[in-house]
């Protein structure tokens, strides 16, 4: 069995940020990656996707974004290439084509079964992604046989779908972008929207990401939030990597039919909730609370003259007679895109570290088992933990914890 002090699993932004910190601390380590660096951005995203965060927010620790298009939104293929360059620059010890199939705890630490044979280590970092697999609701099994089904992780372009109408389920970041793209390709899209998060792309002339950073909202810590589990379940905002807004109003203007949350599929028909108006009202309210906070911040500092005036998006428009049913057998809807969220995939982690709902038990990335750490999970240590801009702070703090763990092991072994 090959062995190293620490193994990081996953060579995305989270694994690379941790690698840089461990190198700086002189901790011997390897990154095991089933593909190559930036694999998820290349393999699990659709062709047209641009980063939702503007370029200035997409630097890596020690390597801020330096290029002319500071406020642009790069293609994910470019970001993936940038990660490869970054990995070389920091000398990240990446072992590609090395999928981890099973990980267990042993006396000396951990044993990993991989595509390249077994590995042993004293500390293990799980950096395999918060969005490693699409989450599918149980109702998928009731979809009639003739309807094509896909997910944002498998979908690449509209031409992958059979001709005809498309039902997109889920109106968070992935759902609204795919609804827009597929409608523009000439197919009639119906978008099922449950609870969602609405944000304008820009407000008072600044990108919303700039406001979230400036108000310190992305730095909010997990241990300062009243209900962290609820915060972790907040749907991702309706936003697209480009200057134009994408929300239920703009989608309706482009011809997309908006319906309520998909409740069930019965008798060959999709049945939708009548609560769309409530979901929209709640999303509008929360968006306006954020915009109020921005206006207050501006007023307190007397910066009103330096910014554009408040330009609130119009309230969401909702039909007074909501559509409650669509047949899935009359040929109108030929495919369904399940944009119903993502989950981490720890199916290969054979250790007692999961709660009753199957979620990893951790406190800010320190897993409930000595020597085991996570990186990149949603709101793991901070609101920005799963974002590109969030991995640096988390890696710094968790690498310190990890080094202290190794020091304790060394003292115990002496
Ligand atoms: C559609 C979409 C758009 C997003 N856009 C943005 C954005 O614009 N800005 C932003 O800041 N964030 C964005 N995010 C959130 C986040 O930045 C990404 O999910 C990002 O990929 C997370 O990086 P990561 O390093 O944590 O995980 P990943 O990039 O998922 O990397 C995990 C790596 O682990 C490898 N791996 C997984 N399992 C194993 C295994 N068993 N053995 C070996 N290797 C394994 C994978 O191949 C992969 O390379 C987006 C997320 C999604 C889903």
For the chain, 414 residues long, the average pLDDT of each consecutive 10-residue run is 96 98 98 98 97 98 94 97 98 98 96 98 98 97 97 98 98 98 98 97 97 98 96 96 94 98 97 97 98 98 96 94 95 97 98 97 97 98 98 98 94 84
| Cα 355 from Cα 357, distance rounded (Å) | 5
Query: Three-state DSSP class for 46?
Result: coil
**What pLDDT does 187 receive?**
97
| Span from the CA of 260 to the centroid of ligand 1 (angstroms) | 29
> How far is 253 from 379, CA to CA, in rounded Å?
34
pTM: 0.97
Q: What was the pLDDT predicted at 400?
A: 98
The Å distance, Cα 131 to ligand 1 centre, comes to 6
Q: How far is the CA of 73 from the centre of ligand 1 (A)?
A: 17
From residue 298, alpha-carbon distances to 206, 211, 220, 305, 355 in Å are 12, 11, 20, 9, 43
Per-residue pLDDT at 320 = 86
Residue 25: phi, psi to the nearest 5? Answer: -90, 0
- The span from the CA of 309 to the CA of 295, in Å, is 9
Phi, psi of 177, rounded to the nearest 5 degrees: -65, -40
Could you tell which of 20, 33, 40 is best to mutate to test the pocket of ligand 1, judged by most ligand atoms within 8 Å of the CB? 40
- Pocket lining for ligand 1, CB < 6 angstroms: 9-15, 32-35, 39-41, 45, 51-53, 99-100, 127-132, 174, 342, 348, 376, 386-388
Minimal CA–CA distance to 17: which of 412, 408, 396? 396
Q: Residue 52's CB: how many other CB atoms inside 10 A?
A: 21
Angle at 17 between CA 16 and CA 22, to 5 degrees: 95
Provide the total of helices (H) and of strands (E) in the chain, helices listed first: 9, 23
Give the length of the chain.
Answer: 414
Q: Report how far apart, in Å, the C-alpha atoms of 178 and of each of 29, 122, 153, 158, 192 are.
A: 39, 43, 11, 9, 12
- Cα 130 to averaged position of ligand 1 atoms, centre (Å): 7
pLDDT score recorded for residue 392: 98
8 A C-beta contact, residue 262 and residue 339: no
CB 16 within 8 A of CB 92: yes
Which secondary-structure segment (H or E) carries 302? none
CA–centroid distance, 278 to ligand 1, in Å, is 32
Q: Determine contact, residues 147/213, Cβ cutoff 8 Å.
A: no
Nearest in space to 375 (alpha carbons), one of 134, 2, 108, 22: 22
């Amino acid at each position: 069995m090959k062995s190293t002090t620490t193994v990081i699993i996953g060579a995305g932004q989270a694994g690379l940020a941790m690698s840089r910190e461990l190198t700086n601390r002189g901790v011997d380590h390897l990154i095991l990656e089933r593909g190559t660096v930036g694999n998820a951005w290349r393999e699990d995203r659709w062709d047209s996707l641009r980063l939702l965060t503007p370029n200035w927010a997409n630097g890596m620790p020690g390597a801020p974004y330096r290029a002319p298009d500071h406020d642009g939104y790069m293609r994910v293929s470019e970001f993936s290439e940038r990660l490869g360059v970054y990995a070389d620059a920091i000398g990240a010890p990446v072992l590609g084509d090395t999928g981890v199939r099973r990980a267990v705890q042993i006396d000396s630490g951990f044993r990993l079964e991989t595509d390249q044979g077994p590995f042993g280590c004293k500390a293990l970092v799980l950096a395999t992604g918060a969005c490693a697999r699409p989450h599918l609701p149980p109702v998928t099994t009731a979809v009639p046989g003739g309807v094509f089904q896909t997910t944002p992780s498998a979908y690449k372009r509209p031409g992958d779908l059979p001709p005809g109408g498309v039902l997109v389920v889920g109106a968070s970041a992935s759902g609204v972008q795919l609804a827009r793209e597929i409608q523009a390709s000439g197919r009639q899209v119906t978008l099922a929207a449950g609870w969602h998060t609405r944000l304008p792309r820009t407000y008072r002339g600044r990108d919303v990401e700039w406001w979230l950073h400036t108000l310190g909202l992305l730095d909010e810590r997990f241990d300062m939030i009243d209900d962290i589990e609820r915060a972790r379940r907040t749907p991702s905002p309706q936003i697209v990597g480009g200057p134009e807004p994408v929300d239920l109003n703009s989608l309706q203007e482009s011809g997309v039919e908006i319906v309520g949350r998909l409740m069930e599929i019965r008798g060959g028909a999709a049945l939708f909730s009548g609560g769309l108006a409530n979901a929209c009202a709640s999303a509008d309210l929360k968006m306006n609370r954020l915009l109020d906070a921005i206006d207050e911040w501006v007023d307190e500092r007397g910066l009103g003259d330096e910014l554009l005036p408040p330009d609130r998006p119009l309230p969401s428009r909702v039909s007074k007679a909501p559509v409650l049913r669509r047949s899935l057998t009359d040929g109108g809807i030929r495919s369904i895109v399940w944009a119903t969220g993502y989950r981490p995939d720890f199916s290969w982690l054979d250790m007692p570290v999961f709660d009753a709902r199957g979620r990893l038990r951790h406190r800010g990335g320190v897993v409930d088992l000595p020597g085991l750490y996570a990186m990149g999970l949603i709101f793991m240590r901070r609101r920005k933990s799963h974002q590109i801009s969030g991995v640096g702070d988390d890696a710094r703090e968790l690498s310190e914890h990890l080094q202290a763990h190794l020091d304790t092991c060394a003292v115990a072994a002496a």
